[in-house]
Amino acid sequence: MAKLMVQGGKRLCGELTVHGAKNSALPLLAASLLGDTPSIIHNCPELSDVDSSIHILEWLGCRVKREGSTIVVDSSSIDRCDIPDNLMREMRSSVVFLGAIAAKCGKARISFPGGCELGPRPIDLHLTALRQLGLTIDEGHGELDCYAKNGLTGTEITLSFPSVGATENIILAGATAKGTTRILNAAREPEISDLADFLNGCGARIYGAGEGTIRIEGVSRLSGTEHTVIPDRICAATYMAAAAVTQGNICLRGIIPAHLGPVLSLFSEAGCDLSLNGRDLRITAPPRLHSLKTVRTMPYPGFPTDAQAPVMSMAALADGTSVFVENIFESRYKHVGELMRLGAHIKVEGKVAVVEGVPRLSGAPVEATDLRGGAALVVAGLAAEGVTEITGLHHLDRGYEHMEDTLRAVGAVLERV
């Protein structure tokens, strides 16, 4: 079993480049199914979730070629419309293929997705929306058997919650549906805008992405396109937290500052000095971090739930008490018990976590139980006295490209064994 051995107490200094966004690359790879000529996608991170998406594309019959961070997808040879259970279980985001396959083939058969266990993340919103577009979905024996005898037809869809995945599935299905589709209470995340930009490059007519209402005028066909994935804002927040807990001074290159608004304000509140120069961000941490008052996770443009765990590690070493309110997922505090093994003082009551900052953490064996919780343990381990031994590394590999190499380049001492 692989372990990450983190030697704490090393100040991070230097610069690093933020890789492409996982949460953008995955729906873009699904969208590449819709074009009848090849798509070229740049800045695709080397992650196990991206590999899983490639395996799904290849299973469906696509020809996929990767060179460095560029992936070329030719879907002209697609000859299947099903995804087997073992591929669906590899990641939650696999459900985003449903809208694309249904639009491409007029039918689809998939099982329920896997991925991190963060409590109920039902795909009801996805299924309800796709049914409104004319997709018949039969559920049974853990599978979804879907077909659209007369094709998909645009309609007005109001989401009860601005789900990112459901919004993506509607966009993918609606891009080539007959007529116009309107999404009300749509997710506004930057990854939604990136997907719309990709599809518009393919010939789609999508308007209002990044706003609460999105309009999609269906077209009869799409071609491939060339596109560059936006930088990963959660990766940026994680490395900012790593700099903060080590009293570090690092420059993050290639970010989009507008995507990090609520994150930047939080780090300023913690006493970090932030300096922006175009798409570069320099963060300089104080000798002791300030507490964060109240951190509420919310849909974009609020504070992202994916950044909650790494920032909690930062709060664990702050001077004073910080309060976290998790409004997105019910089981997103699994990292708390592991942080307490390192000496953090945290109390959880329902969706609220109260973090009393301590002067120091101590290295200990801990286990990553999900992606962002694993990142929180790495952040805490970088500041802890002694060695922190982290297992469950397959979670980290889903969302952080060569994390050890990136951190070593700015002065961290850690090794995968």
Instruction: Choose the final residue of a domain: 228, 258, 273.
Output: 228
Q: Which of 81, 116, 235, 272 is catalytic?
A: 116
Answer yes or no: is 351 a known binding residue.
Answer: no
Same domain, 252 and 156: no
Same domain, 15 and 27: no
The pLDDT value given to residue 331? 81
Answer yes or no: is 123 a known binding residue.
Answer: yes
Same domain, 61 and 204: yes
Same domain, 71 and 214: yes
Answer yes or no: is 232 a known binding residue.
Answer: no
Answer yes or no: is 124 a known binding residue.
Answer: yes
Answer yes or no: is 347 a known binding residue.
Answer: no
> Tokens 């058969």 sit at which residue?
109
Instruction: Choose the final residue of a domain: 228, 249, 277.
Output: 228
- Using CA atoms, how far residue 185 sits from 93, 162, 167, 188, in Å, is 20, 6, 9, 9
Same domain, 373 and 397: yes
**Domain around 220:** 22-228
Same domain, 224 and 235: no
The pLDDT value given to residue 93? 82
The pLDDT value given to residue 114? 58
The pLDDT value given to residue 142? 82
Same domain, 147 and 267: no
Instruction: Choose the final residue of a domain: 210, 228, 246.
Output: 228
Same domain, 150 and 241: no
| 13 counts as catalytic | no
Q: How many domains does the chain have?
A: 2
0.85 cut: is pTM over it? yes
The pLDDT value given to residue 120? 44
The pLDDT value given to residue 119? 44
Q: What CATH number is associated with residue 145? A: 3.65.10.10
Same domain, 209 and 342: no
Same domain, 240 and 365: yes
Answer yes or no: is 150 a known binding residue.
Answer: no
User: Which of the residues in the chain have pLDDT under 50?
Assistant: 115-121
Same domain, 223 and 238: no
> Tokens 């941490």 sit at which residue?
285
Answer yes or no: is 216 a known binding residue.
Answer: no
Beta carbons within 8 Å of 305's beta carbon, 6+ residues apart:
297, 326, 327, 328, 329, 332
Same domain, 100 and 113: yes
* Residue 262 neighbours by CB distance under 10 Å: 18
C-beta separation of 148 from 136 below 8 A: yes
